[in-house]
Amino acid sequence: MPATRKLEDRDVYIYEGQIYIPNTYTAGAVGTRFLTGLRDGKKILGTRCAACNRVYVPARSTCHACFEPIDEWVEVSGTGTLETYTVVYEDNPCQPAEPPLVYGIIRLDGADNGFLHMLGGVDPEDLRVGMRVQAVFERDRTGSILDIRYFTPFGGC
């Protein structure tokens, strides 16, 4: 039974706790093609909306901007620009690595949206918004988003 606590000035009690909810769901046809691209060829695949020309990475089947179905595949670069980042110091079973862990939003060259992934091979103190980063792939890839080990800075800002 979780502990309860009374709110300060009300006759209201709350439960405090954490809920662990394991789940499994399919990546779908588009997600599967994206993941096998990573696995088989170190290819980062996106999809381009024919109506507005936006390129989404990871690939998606519907345009967020104009809601049109998307079926054109494009390969984008493994290089991009760091748009923002955060450093996580708290351990959490949902995270793919031990803290400190750096998550970033990367605008890959050829894409029109941000791509969420980890940053590595760099002291977090040396990270800067706008710096150039490149994908570092795992040698043994399994069809996971973690086939990209992380993105790391290269070539200056």
Of 56 and 115, which CB lies nearer to Zn ion in the complex structure?
56
Residues numbered 60-119 forming contacts with Zn ion, rule: CB under 5 A: 63, 65-66
Say if CB 1 and CB 9 are below 8 A apart: no
Of 49 and 82, which CB lies nearer to Zn ion in the complex structure?
49
Of 42 and 107, which CB lies nearer to Zn ion in the complex structure?
107
Tell me the sheet residues that pair with 152: 134
Backbone φ, ψ for residue 46 (5° rounding): -125, 180
- Binding-site member from 14, 51, 116, 157 for Zn ion (CB under 5 A): 51
CB of 76 to Zn ion, least distance (A): 16
Task: Using DSSP, state whether 21 is helix, strand or coil.
Answer: coil
Say if CB 136 and CB 121 are below 8 A apart: yes
C-alpha span between 28 and 45 (Å, rounded) = 15
Told to check if 52 binds Zn ion by CB under 5 A, we report yes
Told to check if 49 binds Zn ion by CB under 5 A, we report yes
Residue ranges that bind Zn ion, judged by CB under 5 A: 49, 51-52, 63, 65-66
